[in-house]
Structure 1
Amino acid sequence: MKRIILLLAIFCSVLSAHAQFGGGGSSIVGKISGTVIDSITKKPVDYATISVFHSGGKAPLNGVVTDEKGKFNLNNLPSGKYKITVAFIGYGTKTFDPVVTTLSKPDNNMGTIILAPSSKSLQQVDVVGQRALIENKIDKIVYNAEKDLTSAGGNASDVLRKVPLVAVDINGNVSLRGDQNVKVLINGKPSGAMANNLADVLRSFPADQIKSVEVITSPSAKYDAEGTAGIINIITKSKNISGVSGAISGGIGTRQNNGNANLNIKQNRLSVTGNFGGNFTWPQVTPTTFHSYNDSLNITSDQTSSRTIKRYAYTGSGELNYDFNNFNAIHSSIRFNQGGFKTNGTTNYHTVTSTTNSIFDALNDTKTVFGGFDWIADYTHKFKQEGHELTFSGEWSHSNTDVNYTNIFSNSSAPSQRATNGGINNEYTAQVDYTLPISKNVKMEAGGKSISRIISSNSNFYKGSGDPANYPYDAGSSNIYDYNQYVTAGYSVFSFTLPKSWSLQTGVRVENTKIEGKSANTTLGLQPFTDNYTTFVPSFAVSKQINGTQTFKLSYSKRIQRPSLLFLNPFVNNSNPQNVSKGNPTLAPEVGQTVEFNYSTYIGASVINASVYYKYSKDFIESTTLPISPPTTTYNNIGYNKSIGMSFFGSVTPIKPLTFRTSINVYTYNGKAYPQYAFLQSSNGAKLQYNIFGSGSLTLSGGFTAETFAILNSPTRTIQGRNPSFGFIGFGMRKDLMKKRASIGINTLSPFKNTIDFDQNISSRHFTQTSHTAFPFRSVGLTFSYNFGKVSFKPDNPLAPKKNGLNDDLKTGGDQNGGGPR
């Protein structure tokens, strides 16, 4: 009831603001159409060039060519007066000025245009625009992935590894400035699959679908409060062109093979896009050694294993946009994904205690399948005043993950085991956003939101011998666990444009969270629980621009991070009898506060961005291994952390065809465990950590482009120890064909080293644990792409409605079953 009252109050305040401040401006678009025929033969003139200018202008705004019937459509034109020119080789150019469209009649059909032959010919003109690989904007950093040729044929993890301030470790875990509490969005929208299974979903996402990646380190109160590190927004490819077009791309290599296809249909106020892609990896063999010692229990455990991993995934999307009229527009999209991986191998276990010496083997077979969809619908109403709008949004996000494993033991008194765990997450979101330009220098944004997350986990265990299909059901270990979370939020943000190039933005967000959990198996000791808390989230930013090329910015933001299903699921994973793992359904959210000072500048073609920041986090969640028998890994609100950091990225072009780029992030980890977890802490004092990326690209004659890059991440610290460093290099080359409609390329990763070693060290009072894994990483692959369709050139429409994010929340984790690079 409280959530409904809050949304009604926000909606009433929106109507009140509209009544007080009024409105003005419009952004409806229309079209100008016609048919071109020959004055003598009366036959259609196909491939005639139609150009549109502002009335009396000299610079073309847009252009198309006529089809085989001589017809043309100049789409997406705001109401106004235009100049239209019609030209074709061997004919005289015809000019019409003005050609008028209005709000009441946005479409203008010019009818039949007669073109007369002439002895003069029109020389072809090509309009070419090129966007930089990295763009530094006032509120975010943009990495234009479609210009990164070394990521072609890869996946989203390969792209994110090269985005400034972002790091992706060998297991696919994503961090932003060293913090894994980052929310990843797709086109400004959340994805239930990414919330619950981020690392695997990113590996299943083809790089060829990604247009750009936006990094927001200090989100305003308009964004959801979750994601203490910030937000990463993946923008997929969707060509802003009129007509029918598409592209096919893919690659084949020694590590991964993929393909992707998209189709775009855009006519006047209607646009429809579709995309489908998939990938699979060749089988990869990964050897691992493991050692642990508990001196209080006098237990030594060792194991060696060799696993073969096979992966597959496919993803698709569809999107529809339509402007009904001058004031009303709808947007709807659906995105689905399906993927999985299968691991099989053998493991040798050796356990020594004060009284026993046990050696046994196991055949391991694990299958993980994940998938789901996100369906989004938006309705936007624009008032007469430019920038004055009201948007209603809704989303249904469904995701599921099934983890099934079988362990067949030999030479062991313990029974063999089989387990299935199915997790289902349904999220229902309703949101309203209102934007009002109060004056030329003041803008207000306000809104409200309701999220309902309904999560269920069904775990079934079977133990016995012989045929695994006939193992008896173990009711004492099996469980059904239901977890529900309800979030209600409201926000208000004010932006001020001040004299002397100063800008100020301040806002506040209030979120109320209600959670409840219930276990069907009361013998497991998981008692039902409920919790209810309210979080006050302010944000502040002030900036100063000098000479249009330098910007100074000081910002403060507070963020929280609610745990996702991976962290909450109490499913006990016994697939490794020497290291059991499970979730913790009683986890509280993390809370982080960040103060950042940023400086950015453009010097010719060079870009420089530098920041210093301080971050304080409390109740932060870490994976910890309890020194019991067997050792059990779970998640806890372990303590607090004070971190100081510095980040820098730059792009320098010493000569026109050559560009160098670098991104460096250096920060401290100084985690302190709460008293109840002090016995687990082994890492004390501030530890310096870093992420470094560097690249160089060279544009050669004949359509050739070459690029090389290197990545180096330091070891990362935790309360209990250290995760390993990670680094590799890559090279790539591409050749454009058919006037840049097609291309072929070759790229390679880690060409001088076949595997990347992953050494992990964990220790606490009376307990140590180490592991070594060699992940196969060296690869070489061929890539291709082809663009098709007869389309018009068109810049981005500045009047197109902006799509805001919905659920940028939930703490997520990496591959809970291990695996390495895919």
Structure 2
Amino acid sequence: MQSVSVDSQTGNISLRGNENVRVLVDGKPTNIPASQLLKQIPSSSIKSVELITNPSAKYNPEGMSGIINIILNKNANMGFNGSINTGVEAGHYVRNNASTNMNYKTGKVNFFGNYGFNGGDRYNFGYVNRPGTNYQDFIFVNDNESHLLKFGADIYLDDKNTLSFYTTQNWFDSNANGRALITNNAGNVVSNAPNTQNSDSKNQTYNINYKHDFDKEGHNIEFETTYSKNNSPNFLVNKDLTLTNVDRDYKLLNYFNDINNVGENVLINLDYTNPISEKGKLELGLEYRTNTTDNTNLTDQERHLTDNALNIIGTTPIGNSEFTYDRKIYSGYVNYGHQFGKVTMQLGARFEQYSIEGVFSQETKPTATITDDIFTVYPSAFITFTPTDANQFQLSYSKRVDRPSIQQVNPIREWSTPLITSVGNENLLPQFTNSIEFNYTRKIKGGSLTFGSFYRNVNDVISRVTYKDPTDVSNSRQILTFQNFDDTNAYGLEFSVNYKIAKWWRANASMDVYSQKQYGTTDLNNPNAPRLEVKNEVFNARISNSFNASKNLSLQLFAMYRGSNQDIQWKVAPMSMVNFGANYSVLKGKGNITFRVNDIFNTMKFQFNSSNPFTQDGRFKWESRTTYIGFNYRFGSGKNKAKARKQRDSNEKQGGGGFM
């Protein structure tokens, strides 16, 4: 079991401690950033999650840590089948969810559909303390509502030909309200910055797949095309009422940001598989991808100087901005696998031509243009040795890439907090990773043991940095941006066990430790800034227990520990959590009542400290301790499964503004 975690503040997903991971839905790319994806997909609509830590050349090379594929529900049994799910979660606020999954299969056609809903408020709060300077107190309330609809059909034209299509429609509305209260060292309020953000996002995906099976088993050719579009308008209002002197004069800053972001993806694949011998298999493929983004930011800033009675003295507007960012990727791959007795070998290479063109413009400033063309070969190799049925060894190698995301390269300044401004770096380079893994699996009576290790060499590491804002006369604001650091090495060990302790008790436990050195410069204002170095060593552990209390009642107990970690600027404290759940079968096995309590001891929090560029520490907390009760009912029956879909990957390294 690999280490997967979600950052509570940014929402970014990490694998083995690294956020450079591809997140897919049904094996397809999505225009939704990974940090928003989990918020928009109702959990009841998710069938399973797949992890691929060292993908072969058949997969797109993005993602240093690997691929996480979220598979949505699609029943596929003969006749009419389906399920209904509903639930309520209570923490600081109460939220509800519901979903239904249905399919109808008859003759040569299987129709399937899924609808899911999530809704309710979420509460977050925290602080950032700069000793001797100021104290920042934050409160956030997010009212989110998500609707996800998926439907399609598999058409079995004959025994050799299958035509499939589906569409996924996702509507996500978010109304966020918050405030940042800043007090000085004497305890006086020097800034009160309430803010609101309203967003209405719609993501739509359309997929068509055709597969032809030749007479020989496993010999096939498959064509697939996918189109997706995401439209994400946002309207932000940020206010900052700041004390300017001891006479209680104020400076009132109102920021109005009307942002519209439209992204479109086109993905076309042609895959050919031929088992050329009893022991060998050849895979060939071609792929074409385009990703386009159009963004407009209509900004109106009011700057009011007031007297003691808050009478307006003056107003200053600022300009608008827009950018386009287009990417095209042409690629092909070849994989060959062969079995030599107890040894299986797979060798492959992916050839890729990548080009980008970005144009960033802002009123009163020169237009910035970025273009690039890169041709790269991504080799991969896998060797598996199975000396006995109980023992298996695997050694693998692959080269991968992480390209900067749009948030990371957009140089237009965006308001994050009263003391943080987010700015992208249009000169960011992609980072390339060479990854080697070794794994050993041992089957034992009642379960299995797995030992693993990995090593990664990373060139031009992309990382988040903050530095003092050179335009700020108060010397208190920070710029949040991204920078290429020096090459680095990372390595780690993993251990997992799945064991049936008793007839009524099964446990699944894992732990991992990894180490990484990071080198680089964070003070981008100073060309002579010293080169910093830090060694980050992290230990993680988790255990999941399942208990069969009776024929109809099962219990679950889960605990996790995420060790402290650090980079050049930030040290993050450990996190831990204990969850409890119960599942009771009703209605002759067709229904289930589910109950769970997350973070029983309310220990989950994001706590950090730093001495660069300011000495500061902070903590952010969210509704981690929650209680959930849900009901599931299944109807229909059958055994004939639907067409299995191959899994694709395509995405980008995610990153954006956040609170530090």
TM-score of the superposed pair, with normalisation by structure 1: 0.73
SS in 1 for 2:251: coil
1:637-671 C-alpha deviation (Å, 9 max, x unpaired): 22322111011111110212210111212101211
Which residue of 108, 111, 129 corresponds with 1:291? 129
Asked whether the equivalents of residues 430 and 460 of structure 2 are also in contact (C-alpha less than 8 Å), the reply is yes
Distance 1:767 1:465 in 2: 27
- Aligned 8 A contact 2:547 2:554 in 1: yes
Among residues 329, 338, 344, which one is paired with 1:487 in the alignment? 329
Instruction: Give the drift of 1:679.
Output: 7.3
Residue in structure 2 matched with residue 200 of structure 1 by the alignment? 36
**Where in structure 2 are the equivalents of 1:347-386 lying within 5 Å?**
347-350=180-183, 359-386=190-217
- The residue aligned with 2:374 is 533
Cα RMSD of the aligned pairs, angstroms, is 2.7
Tell me which amino acid in the other structure corresponds to 1:543. Answer: T
Shift of 1:498: 0.8
> Which of 244, 247, 250 is 2:86 aligned to?
250
Describe how 1:64-103 pairs up with structure 2 within 5 A.
Answer: none
Distance 1:675 1:349, change over 3 A: closer
- Give, in angstroms, the shift of residue 542 of structure 1: 0.5
3-state SS in 1 of match to 2:615: strand
SS in 2 for 1:702: coil
- Write out aligned runs for 1:370-769 (5 A): 370-410=201-241, 411=243, 412-464=250-302, 476-499=318-341, 501-521=342-362, 523-628=364-469, 629=472, 630-673=477-520, 684-753=533-602, 756-764=604-612, 767-769=614-616
Distance 2:184 2:258 in 1: 27
Flag the structure with higher helix content: 1
Q: Does 1:235 align with 2:83?
A: no
Shift of 1:358: 8.6
Provide the rounded CA distance (Å) in 1 between the counterparts of 2:360 and 2:174.
29
Report if the CA contact (8 A) 1:623-1:635 is conserved: yes
Alignment match, 2:6: 168
CA offsets 1:238-263 (integer angstroms, 9 cap, x no match): 23311001100121121432111111
Establish whether residue 323 from structure 1 lines up as the match of residue 156 from structure 2. Answer: yes
1:223-279 C-alpha deviation (Å, 9 max, x unpaired): 001111111122223233110011001211214321111111112321111001111
2:99 to 255, 260, 263: 260
2:35 is paired with a residue of what secondary structure? helix
Given candidates 798, 801, 804, the residue that maps to 2:647 is 804
Structure 1 distance, partners of 2:400, 2:315, is 44
SS in 2 for 1:566: helix
Report the equivalent of 1:190: 29
Q: How does 1:70-149 map to 2 (within 5 A)?
A: none
* Unmatched tracts of structure 1, length 5 or more: 1-162, 294-298, 467-471
Q: 1:292 to 1:370 in 2, by over 3 A?
A: farther
668-677 or 448-457, larger mean C-alpha shift: 668-677
Match of 1:71 in 2: none
TM-score normalised over the length of structure 2: 0.90
Distance of 1:450 and 1:521 partners within structure 2? 32
Q: Which amino acid in 2 is paired with 1:494? A: Y
Once residues 247 and 669 of structure 1 are traced to their aligned partners in structure 2, the CA distance between those partners, rounded to angstroms, is 46
Q: 1:243 to 1:473 in 2, by over 3 A?
A: farther
Shift of 1:393: 1.2
Distance 2:540 2:2 in 1: 10
Q: Are 2:520 and 2:533, in contact at CA under 8 Å, matched by a contact in 1?
A: no
1:292-340 alpha-carbon deviations (Å, 9 max, x no partner) = 48xxxxx945322323232221212112111212322111111122224
Q: Secondary structure at the match of 2:195?
A: strand
Q: CA separation in 2, counterparts of 1:675 and 1:362?
A: 28
Moved more, 376-385 or 668-677: 668-677
| CA shift digits 1:134-180 (9 cap, x unpaired) | xxxxxxxxxxxxxxxxxxxxxxxxxxxxx643122323321111111
Q: CA deviation at 1:476?
A: 4.5
Runs (4+) of structure 1 moved beyond 4 Å?
A: 350-353, 472-476, 674-683, 816-819
Partners of 1:326 and 1:305 in 2: how far apart?
Answer: 61
**What is the SS of the residue equivalent to 1:199?**
helix
Question: Matches of 1:670 and 1:598 in 2, distance apart?
Answer: 23
Residues of 2 paired with 1:644 and 1:487: CA distance?
A: 30
1:217 partnered with 2:53: yes
Does structure 2 retain, via aligned residues, the 8 Å contact 1:756–1:776? Answer: no
In 1, are the aligned partners of 2:322 and 2:361 still within 8 Å (CA)? Answer: yes
Contact 2:145 2:173 in 1 (8 A): yes
Aligned equivalents of 2:65, 2:620: Cα separation in 1: 28
Cα distance 1:535–1:768, how it changes in 2: closer, same or farther (>3 A)?
Answer: farther
Structure 1 CA distance for aligned equivalents of residues 87 and 644 of structure 2: 35
626-635 or 488-497, larger mean C-alpha shift? 626-635
Would the aligned equivalents of 1:460 and 1:473 in 2 still touch at CA under 8 Å?
no
Query: Quick one: distance in 1 between partners of 2:443 and 2:339?
Result: 22
Q: Letter of the aligned partner of 1:567 in structure 2?
A: Q
Cα distance per residue 1:531-586 (max 9 Å; x no partner): 11111100001011122221100100110012222323334222423111122333
Q: 1:642 to 1:443 in 2, by over 3 A?
A: same
Alpha-carbon distance between aligned partners in 2 of 1:813 and 1:177, rounded to the nearest angstrom: 17
Q: 2:310 matched to which residue of 1?
A: none
Structure 2 unaligned spans of 5+: 244-249, 305-313
Alignment check: 8 A CA contact 2:438 2:453 kept: yes
Q: Which deviations, in whole Å up to 9, do the C-alpha atoms of 1:59-91 show, x marking residues without a partner? A: xxxxxxxxxxxxxxxxxxxxxxxxxxxxxxxxx
Whichever residue aligns with residue 700 of structure 1, its letter is: A
The separation in 2 between residues aligned to 1:280 and 1:672, in whole angstroms, is 43
For the 8 Å contact 2:546–2:554, the answer to whether it is kept is yes
Cα shift at 1:525: 4.3
- CA–CA distance in 2 between the matches of 1:282 and 1:448? 45
Structure 1 position 445, deviation (Å): 0.6
- Report deviation, 1:283: 4.5
- What is the one-letter code of the residue matched to 2:587? M
Deviation (angstroms), 1:713: 1.1
Question: Greater share of strand residues, 1 or 2?
Answer: 2
Aligned residue for 1:53?
none
- Structure 1 pair 477–210 and aligned structure 2 pair: CA distance change class (3 A): same
Query: What do the CA deviations read for 1:494-542 (whole angstroms, capped 9, x no partner)?
Result: 001112x110000011111111111233633452121111111000010
1:98-133 CA-partner distances (Å, limit 9, x unpaired): xxxxxxxxxxxxxxxxxxxxxxxxxxxxxxxxxxxx
The question of whether the paired residues in 1 share the 8 Å contact of 2:2 and 2:16 is answered with no
Q: How many angstroms apart in 2 are the aligned matches of 1:537 and 1:475?
A: 49
Between the aligned partners of 1:270 and 1:774, the Cα distance in structure 2 is: 49
Number of equivalent positions:
632
Match for residue 308 of structure 2? none
Question: For the pair shown, which has the larger CA radius of gyration, 1 or 2?
Answer: 1
Kindly tell me: are residues 376 and 742 of structure 1, through their superposed partners in 2, closer, same or farther at Cα, counting changes over 3 Å? same
The alignment status of 1:792 with 2:628, answered yes or no, reads no
For residue 203 of structure 1, give the secondary structure of its aligned residue in structure 2.
helix
